[in-house]
Amino acid sequence: MGMDAFADTTAATAVTRTHCPYCALQCGMELRADPADGSGLRAAGWEAFPVNKGALCQKGATATEVLNPAARLGSPLLRRHRDAELEPVTWDEALDFAAARISATAAAHGRDAVGIFGGGGLTHEKAYSLGKFARVVLQTPHIDYNGRFCMSAAAAASQRAFGVDRGLPFPLADVAHTDVILLVGSNLADTMPPALRYFTAQRENGGRLIVVDPRRTRTAEQADLHLQPVPGTDAALAAGMLHVLIAEHLIDEEFIAARTDGFEEVRAEALRWWPERVEAVCGVPAGDVRAAARMFAGAGTGTGGDGGTKARGDSGTGTRAGTGMILTARGTEQQADGADAVNAWINLALAAGKAGRPYCGYGAITGQGNGQGGREHGQKADQLPGYRKITDPAAREHVAGVWGVPADSLPGPGRPAVELLASCGTDIRALLVAGSNPVVSAPDAAFVASRLAALDFLAVCDVVLSETAALADVVFPVTQWAEEAGTMTNLEGRVLLRRQAVAPPEGVRSDLDVLGGLAERLGSPGFLTEPAVIFAELARASAGGVADYSGLSYERLDASSEGEGLHWPCPTPDHPGTPRMFLDAFGTPDGRARFVAVGHEPAVEEPTAEFPYRLTTGRVLAQYQSGAQTRRVRSLNAAEPGSFVQLHPDLAAAVGVAEGDAVRVTSRRGSAVAPARINDLIRSDTVFMPFHWAGAGRANSVTRRTTDPVSGMPAFKTAAVRVEVAR
Ligand code: SF4
């Protein structure tokens, strides 16, 4: 089936219904022809799509600008030797050169010397094909992706507790009818504004919102209760809240006995975290710890001991009495004990009996567009399609059968992202990067750039000459969202068809064509390049796995309620999909959820006299991830043109910084310099920098490569730093 078979489904009105190129909300949008725009298209919200209901944030509304060929790479680029400049070449020349260098590397250093680094924004078809290309064509174990920086801690924690990792195991719309929401380390108001409507509705329906964040963000402003812990101390805060539930007999003994295992060990750990001890570690007043615990348990506001709740009911417009959710995001996950911190929050949800029933549960708010799907089908170092473990003999047999190769020819697990990048230039001698810009987005980015520069060969697939592509020996200019059909899975596990709206610019090909061209030159002709055909194979490869897509097809996704998608698991063509998981049983072999006994370890890098403050990083409304796309959109750049350092007036006074001063933030890795933004919306011992920019303001020049041992998640949120005026 051709690439454009799922192009314009409403050609009579010249409207294509598709999805935003950016975050995991995957807002439905309608693209219309607009000759006045450089891209030839104009975006508007798709009213009937059930997630965003017509709303787009300013990134989505301006997304067509990144399609403009004038701002794109229009032909492959080649650097003939290390001291040469990149120069335009033909596709054949670029593919021949890349294949020859990959072959030479494998011949000289072994197959394990070639690696792949993918991205959480890639479609399923691309992510799956990268995994297959690594294992079948290159026969290397070394493939991982930037999703490791985004979701890995929550994924690992969910697998430990529930046996399954699906970001939200319920539709986002359920939030509006949930009694109490505990939102940890997420600033939805800036990162995915259309999602905020569900939280606003929840409060209008009588629900309560608790936000945990070191900063008083626009999301935290909406909360009934805002806790501002020291970055990196979330596990202690969660344990302290559980301590209160136990001490005040607010745990759900019946649920714990009926549907969980392992509570006694967790109870013993929680008893060590009385609220005053939590206050000393986390900086959250003991009274607020108690108030939050009582509120989450549904025992009143917690502040006045009224024992009551706001008026609410079981009608379609109210919240459901006694229900609750805990939702986490990068703030709690990007820590040196990220998986443990998430499990500490899950323990709290389980102990309160707020899981495994409607309007209750734990969910992780995925960041990147296909952050969920990108970690399900083989792009991770330890994984085969269907969320199967690469070490599982039965999984290897099944997937090898689909791929038509012997199971024992498949490599074993490779290295997680930070380790993979660190071994570039030593064990890894050649690397193919697709859909990622690690020179900006990886922790300790200057080190990463030095490792990439030390490679014998670097090839990058990208839409523009990103900071990473600028280091490459070969750059392949590739298609993007509206120029190609592809599938994505949003933060709710909803599998979506992203339809093609326009033909790609001349000189640009799909990443799938790059892999096909390389495979042919590397002795594996016939590598699939058509998205619908690849998805059909992916569905077969996923059959029987945790993330079972075998009942899905392009035709079915296209037809599903006019493109609303279907939630996995969906194991047969007549299966309706699974919007809500765990209502009868969790995903563990015996169907019971697991408490995971976790403690709190001090951050590996505690402040010292030389580095007395903490740096935490994150996103702003008008930019997205490494900024490779959004920094090229005029209105977004006008709104947020560069990096900044947010600091509290007390800290600013202590270090002699005035508003707008150039501030140098220095850690043991390096420095970043950006203008000061002084306000009291942040703890006075912590500074914040957004991470979207390269150059002097690159926040990841300061962050550290230390990773969570369970998940490989880097500890982006906890670097000890010095802050001073840049002279
Ligand atoms: Fe796009 Fe996310 Fe904005 Fe929706 S919220 S328009 S998916 S960037």
Residues 6+ apart with CB under 8 A from 104: none
Fold designation for 613-725: Barwin-like endoglucanases (2.40.40)
- Residue with the two structure tokens 């020291």: 230
Establish whether residue 194 lines the binding site of ligand 1, counting it when its CB lies within 6 angstroms of any ligand atom.
yes
Establish whether residue 496 lines the binding site of ligand 1, counting it when its CB lies within 6 angstroms of any ligand atom.
no
Q: Does domain 3-71 have CATH number 1.10.620.20?
A: no
pLDDT of residue 603: 66
- The CA 29 to ligand 1 mean position distance, Å, reads 10
Establish whether residue 471 lines the binding site of ligand 1, counting it when its CB lies within 6 angstroms of any ligand atom.
no
Dist. CA 632–CA 624, nearest whole Å: 11
What average pLDDT does the structure give for the chain? 92
The pLDDT-based confidence of 148 (bands split at 50, 70, 90) is confident
pLDDT digits (tens, 9 = 90+) for 325-351: 999 998 888 888 889 999 999 999 999
The pLDDT-based confidence of 309 (bands split at 50, 70, 90) is very low
Q: State how far Cα 108 lies from the chain centre.
A: 36
CB atoms under 10 Å from CB of 455, counted, come to: 21
CA angle (610, 613, 618) in 5-degree steps: 135
Establish whether residue 56 lines the binding site of ligand 1, counting it when its CB lies within 6 angstroms of any ligand atom.
yes
pLDDT of residue 621: 84
**The two structure tokens encoding residue 646:** 């947010």
Q: State how far Cα 412 lies from the chain centre.
A: 25
Question: Ligand 1 pocket test: which of 30, 59, 625 has the largest number of ligand atoms within 8 Å of its C-beta?
Answer: 59
**The two structure tokens encoding residue 431:** 């690397």
Decide if pLDDT at 300 tops 80: no
Amino acid at 674: A
> Residues 683, 669: contact at Cβ < 8 Å?
no
Residue 112 carries which DSSP code?
A: G
pLDDT of residue 8: 45
692 vs 421, residue with greater confidence = 421
**The two structure tokens encoding residue 554:** 């392009």
Domain ranges of the chain: 3-71, 77-145+369-567, 152-364, 613-725
- The CA 439 to ligand 1 mean position distance, Å, reads 24
The pLDDT-based confidence of 352 (bands split at 50, 70, 90) is very high
Sheet holding 41-45, edge to edge: 15-19, 28-33, 41-45
- The CA 193 to ligand 1 mean position distance, Å, reads 7
Nearest alpha carbon, ligand 1 atom 5: 192
Establish whether residue 371 lines the binding site of ligand 1, counting it when its CB lies within 6 angstroms of any ligand atom.
no
Q: Give the residue-averaged pLDDT of 57-83.
A: 91
pLDDT digits (tens, 9 = 90+) for 662-672: 999 999 999 99
pLDDT of residue 9: 42
Task: Identify which of 325, 295, 314 has the alpha carbon closest to the alpha carbon of residue 205.
Answer: 314
Nearest alpha carbon, ligand 1 atom 2: 23
Write out the CATH class of domain 152-364: alpha beta
Establish whether residue 23 lines the binding site of ligand 1, counting it when its CB lies within 6 angstroms of any ligand atom.
yes
Query: What ranges make up the beta strands (E) of 146-297?
Result: 178-184, 208-212, 225-227, 260-261
pLDDT of residue 308: 34
pLDDT of residue 3: 36
Residues 6+ apart with CB under 8 A from 633: 59, 62, 63, 65, 66
Q: Mean pLDDT lowest for which of 39-48, 122-131, 308-317? A: 308-317
The pLDDT-based confidence of 713 (bands split at 50, 70, 90) is confident
Alpha-carbon distances of 114 from 117, 138, 471, rounded to whole Å: 10, 7, 17
**The two structure tokens encoding residue 222:** 């909406």
Dist. CA 434–CA 482, nearest whole Å: 18
CA angle (76, 80, 82) in 5-degree steps: 120
182 vs 38, residue with greater confidence = 182
Nearest atom, ligand 1, residue 61 CA = 6
pLDDT digits (tens, 9 = 90+) for 635-655: 889 888 999 999 999 999 999
Dist. CA 293–CA 283, nearest whole Å: 16
For the CA atoms of the chain, what is the radius of gyration?
25
pLDDT of residue 157: 96
pLDDT of residue 334: 86
The pLDDT-based confidence of 317 (bands split at 50, 70, 90) is low
- The CA 576 to ligand 1 mean position distance, Å, reads 26
Fold designation for 77-145+369-567: Rossmann fold (3.40.50)
Q: In degrees to the nearest 10, what's the CA dihedral of 292, 293, 298, 299?
A: -100
